[in-house]
Amino acid sequence: MTYSLSVKGVRADSAQQPQTLTLSDDNARAASQQLAMRLGTQFLCKGPDGAERYYQIDAERSIPGYAPILLPVGSS
């Protein structure tokens, strides 16, 4: 997985202390974000500690091209 574009997203359940995640290059562009929102696609993001985990974009609270709100998939 590559993260060269450095597009950031915010984890939805960390409102008090926003946890910034890096989207993979495959999902970083606005058109890819829009498609992922529409389809509910799960994709890998890299956390601040470098660990990768699956997330979905929260379609109700996100705007393609801006820092999307990301929902963790599975238990946290």
pLDDT above 90 for 67: no
Query: Model-level pTM?
Result: 0.81
Q: Whole-angstrom Cα distance, residue 27 to residue 38?
A: 13
Number of Cβ within 10 Å of residue 6's Cβ equals: 9
**pLDDT in the model for residue 46:** 93
pLDDT above 60 for 42: yes
pLDDT above 90 for 48: no
Mean pLDDT (whole number) for 50-75: 88
Q: Whole-angstrom Cα distance, residue 62 to residue 66?
A: 8
- How deeply is 35 buried, as exposed, middle or buried, from its count of CB atoms within 10 A (0-12, 13-18, 19+)? middle
Q: Whole-angstrom Cα distance, residue 28 to residue 72?
A: 17
